[in-house]
Amino acid sequence: MISQINITKVSNDDDLRSVFKQLDETDNRIVGAMLVDDVLSLTTDERVKRAISKALEKEASNDELGDVFKSLKRAVIDSSTRCGAAGDWDDQASHFVTRAANAVVTPRSQRDTVNQLWQIVQSCRMARSCSLIASSDDSDNPEAEYQYKIVSDFLNNKSSSAA
């Protein structure tokens, strides 16, 4: 429960992991969706946008989430660059956004061994990184800092509304 989380400001990956361990299932999904929302502009796939919109709804039902999960599984495959095909880093950014969104709505029973929220974090950072490569921009990837702020704001909003 959020009341048990003893961090209010996230400033590094250790903090992030620590928060993730303490989130309940709904908050886990909503935080994941917020992280993907931050890179959502890097994809044009409507399936991904619909899925994140649904995942951000606190009251989303398992059936609704199951439906978007099915469409995203296909979207992940569709957006993968096949071996030997000419790669496009903008498309690759979109692929990682899709991968992250898929992780957000993957049912708990089908999750793989890697921590799901951490997979979302990594995929979102990769999406940003691919976008920087696509634009030949060699500046530092700012996504991690954005993520710290997103999660910090989430925690603060939760504690304000609880108080």
DSSP H/E element including 3: none
Pair of tokens at residue 90: 């903008």
The nearer residue to another protein, 84 or 162, going by C-beta atoms, is 84
Site for another protein in 11-30 (CB under 8 A): none
In this structure, the number of other CB atoms found within 10 A of the CB of residue 150 comes to 18
AA identity, residue 109: S
Site for another protein in 113-152 (CB under 8 A): 113-114, 122, 125-126, 129, 132-133, 136, 138, 140-141, 144
Over the window 89 to 118, marking each residue x when it contacts another protein by CB under 8 A and - when it does not, the resulting string is x--x--x--------------x-xxx----
How remote is the C-alpha of 40 from its chain's centroid? 9
> How far is the CA of 84 from the CAs of 63, 93, 96, 125, in angstroms?
38, 18, 19, 24
Using CB under 8 A, count the residues that bind another protein. Answer: 30
Q: Residue 22: helix, strand or coil by DSSP? A: helix
Interaction of residue 77 with another protein, rule CB under 8 A: yes
Interaction of residue 81 with another protein, rule CB under 8 A: yes
Please state, in angstroms and rounded to a whole number, the distance separating the CA atoms of residues 92 and 134. 9
Which residues here bind another protein, judged by CB under 8 A? Answer: 73-74, 76-77, 80-87, 89, 92, 95, 110, 112-114, 122, 125-126, 129, 132-133, 136, 138, 140-141, 144
